Amino acid sequence: MNPTHKLHIFDMDGTILDSMPMWSTIASDYLDSYDIPHDDDVNKLIEAYTLENAAKYFIELGLNKTIDDIIK
């Protein structure tokens, strides 16, 4: 390593960790954590949504949070 470098980037996902299984249930897991009822296909439904549109959809389902809070 070059001692003049102050930062190094290391991507663990796919090397040490595999986050792919998490993404297949992220919406239902999130909504379940707030006891928000949802259709069984919610994970598939939001695949094409932007983060903002997914947040808006979660609010429509009854999640009492702001769009910014959901995105964070």
pLDDT for residue 2 is more than 70: no
* Predicted confidence (pLDDT) per residue in 25-63, tens digit: 999 999 999 999 999 999 999 999 999 999 999 999 999
Q: How far apart are CA 10 and CA 39, in angstroms?
A: 37
Cβ count near 38 (within 10 Å) = 18
Q: Is the pLDDT of residue 16 over 80?
A: no
Q: Which of 4-13, 19-28, 48-57 has the lowest average pLDDT?
A: 4-13
Give the start-to-end residue ranges of the domains of the chain.
35-72
15 pLDDT band, cuts 50/70/90, is: confident
pLDDT at 5 over 90: no
